[in-house]
């Protein structure tokens, strides 16, 4: 059966170069970076090269890159680590109502520790209210965290404007950005943009699972949340994931090679999908859909069909997508993003996300649209029955 993978925002197939360097690091250069003999030096070189690649992609200093186990740890470290380090300066944190669970749940934890959190609203396109941000900022604010690209509908937040508003109010307020769905899709320059911390996950850019990084500006005060042997200058203890770092470094180099062509390809797929979806009866495409939205994500609501039912019907045809409410921002089973944009009740359990990667083709888009054209009338009749 034909396989069409449109769930690249969940995870991606690794580049061949990633696979090859990881095999080398697993089977030949398998030393521990803490070892002082040749094997340790070989392992350390993989980590050093990966750090160089990441720092170069962001135009930041290598010492400002901390390797982690992925986006969730990076977000936890940024939020919890800085909140605890700056508690004496204030207890107010700001985020949005559409954040990923790896931001939302640490915020809930920090509320339990006595911090006050403001959750900013968004408009129907998922764009955060800048006026609400201005109103929320106060003398007690120590941290603002806003995602770059929303993982459910591809809304792109005005991070540069947010950084300007935050730092104009108080240069000492830290601005953290969850860039897990944005890195590799956009050229990001934290120093120029005003981003103090930036979270990234390797497996969203055709790299391996279980590795990511957190950019931390050298002026930022942050407490470790993992203690142990003092690796990475004591900021993130634990034996470095050498194969993971090596794979991440290779993915970074590959994703930003001929980058503009890769992004043009994703936008072409997105445009084709959106145009096809809008020709179908009872289909609502969520949010913005042009170049003012993320290139890899299309979210659509299918009137009269439950998302889970349609997802599995597509799976039977070899097409893999995800439910728009699968990654809950706030409560299990309820999408904080879909609630946040004010989506009508009849569509809340009917949203699917189609997310593209560099390996996808226009022919695959057409195959998916043909499948939807065939399935939707049948599934709607079944539901009415």
For the chain, give the mean pLDDT: 95
How sure is the predictor about 324, in pLDDT bands with cuts at 50, 70 and 90? low
181-193 tens-digit pLDDT = 999 999 999 999 9
Q: Is pLDDT above 70 for 334?
A: no
88-111 tens-digit pLDDT = 999 999 999 999 999 999 999 999
> Are 247 and 289 members of one domain?
no
Pick the catalytic residue: 97, 138, 245, 327? 327
* Helices first, then strands: H and E counts in the chain: 12, 13
> Are 272 and 249 members of one domain?
no
Distance (Å, whole) CA 84 – CA 144 = 14
Structural domain containing residue 299:
4-12+259-384
> Are 236 and 304 members of one domain?
no
338-353 tens-digit pLDDT = 999 999 998 999 999 9
**Domain's final residue, options 234, 255, 276:** 255
**Domain's final residue, options 228, 255, 282:** 255
> Are 267 and 238 members of one domain?
no
Distance (Å, whole) CA 201 – CA 76 = 13
Distance (Å, whole) CA 244 – CA 39 = 17
Full-model pTM: 0.94
Check if 368 is active-site.
Answer: no
Specify whether the CB–CB gap between 269 and 360 falls below 8 A.
yes
Residue 318: which CATH number? 3.90.1150.10
Helices 362-384 and 259-278 pack at an angle, to 10 degrees, of 30
Q: Is pLDDT above 60 for 330?
A: no
49-96 tens-digit pLDDT = 999 999 999 999 999 999 999 999 999 999 999 999 999 999 999 999
DSSP states along 142-197:
EEEEEESB-TTT-BBP-HHHHHHHHHHH-TTSEEEEE-TTTBTTB---HHHHT-SE
203-253 tens-digit pLDDT = 999 999 999 999 999 999 999 999 999 899 888 999 899 999 999 999 999
> Are 21 and 123 members of one domain?
yes
197-201 and 65-68: which strand pairing?
A: unpaired
> Are 78 and 203 members of one domain?
yes
* Number of domain units in the chain: 2
Per-residue pLDDT at 297: 98
Termini Cα distance of the chain: 30
Distance (Å, whole) CA 163 – CA 5 = 35
Distance (Å, whole) CA 147 – CA 30 = 36
> Are 44 and 167 members of one domain?
yes
> Are 43 and 174 members of one domain?
yes
Residue 108: which CATH number? 3.40.640.10
**Domain's final residue, options 203, 230, 255:** 255
Tokens coding 83? 């909140």
């Amino acid at each position: 059966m034909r396989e069409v993978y449109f769930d690249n925002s969940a995870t991606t197939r690794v580049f061949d170069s990633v696979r090859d360097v990881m095999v080398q690091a697993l089977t030949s250069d398998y030393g521990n970076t803490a070892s002082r003999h040749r094997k340790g030096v070989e392992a350390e070189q993989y980590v050093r090269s990966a750090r160089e690649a990441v720092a170069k992609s962001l135009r930041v200093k290598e010492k400002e890159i901390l390797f982690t186990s992925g986006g969730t740890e990076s977000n936890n470290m940024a939020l919890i680590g800085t909140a605890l380090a700056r508690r004496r300066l204030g207890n107010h944190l700001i985020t949005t109502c559409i954040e990923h669970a790896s931001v939302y749940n640490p915020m809930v934890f920090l509320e339990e520790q006595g911090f006050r959190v403001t959750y900013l609203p968004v408009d129907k396109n998922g764009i955060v209210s800048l006026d609400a941000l201005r109103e929320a900022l106060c003398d007690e604010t120590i941290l603002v965290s806003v995602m770059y690209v929303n993982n459910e509908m591809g809304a792109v937040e005005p991070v540069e404007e947010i950084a300007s508003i935050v730092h104009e109010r108080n240069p000492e307020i830290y601005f953290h950005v969850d860039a897990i769905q944005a890195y590799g899709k956009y050229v990001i320059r934290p120093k120029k943009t005003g981003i103090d911390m930036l979270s990234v996950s390797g497996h969203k850019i055709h790299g391996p699972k279980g590795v990511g990084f957190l950019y931390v500006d050298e002026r930022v005060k942050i407490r470790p949340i993992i203690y142990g042997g003092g690796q990475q200058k004591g900021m993130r203890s634990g034996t470095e994931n050498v194969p993971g770092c090596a794979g991440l470094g290779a993915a970074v180099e590959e994703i930003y090679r001929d980058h503009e062509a890769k992004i043009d390809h994703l936008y072409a797929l997105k445009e084709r999908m959106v145009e096809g979806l809008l020709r179908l009866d009872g289909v609502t495409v969520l949010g913005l859909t042009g170049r003012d939205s993320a290139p890899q994500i299309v979210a659509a609501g299918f009137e009269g069909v439950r998302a889970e039912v349609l997802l599995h019907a597509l799976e039977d045809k070899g097409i893999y997508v995800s439910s728009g409410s699968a990654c809950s921002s706030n409560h299990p089973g309820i999408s904080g993003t879909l609630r946040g944009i004010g989506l009508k009740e009849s569509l809340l359990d009917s949203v699917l996300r189609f997310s593209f990667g560099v390996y996808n083709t226009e022919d695959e888009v057409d195959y998916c649209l043909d499948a939807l054209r065939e399935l939707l009338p049948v599934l709607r009749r079944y539901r009415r029955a």
